[in-house]
Amino acid sequence: MEFDSLVLVTGRHSNNSLYTELKARHAEWQKNGVKDVYLIGDAEAPRLIADATFTGQRLAREIEEPKAQDAAARTSAKSPCGARRTCPAE
């Protein structure tokens, strides 16, 4: 196999700095119409793209639920594959 360049993607780190900064500005939320801020996808934890986007889709379905983020986290924790929708154990 011939190629000009090779890019290896091996390091997987979450970056939740925006979430942390927004949470720190909680006092400004009401005047700006913000009800809550959620941590999803790779910002929550590095994972496969399908799994990361699924957490966003799940939150979108549950966003009007009380404590939507907590419910999503509990669902992920119960699965033997974490936040993944399907896995060999299911």
Provide the terminal-to-terminal Cα distance of the chain, rounded to the nearest Å: 37
Q: How confident is the model at residue 30 (pLDDT cuts 50, 70, 90)?
A: very high
Per-residue model confidence (pLDDT) at position 74 = 52
CA atoms of 62 and 52, how far apart (whole Å): 16
Helix (H, G, I), strand (E, B) or coil at 8: coil
Amino acid symbol at 82:
G
Tens of pLDDT along 44-71? 888 888 888 888 888 888 888 877 776 5
Helix (H, G, I), strand (E, B) or coil at 54: helix
The radius of gyration of the chain's CA atoms, rounded to the nearest angstrom, is 17
The fraction of the chain above a pLDDT of 90, given in percent, is 27
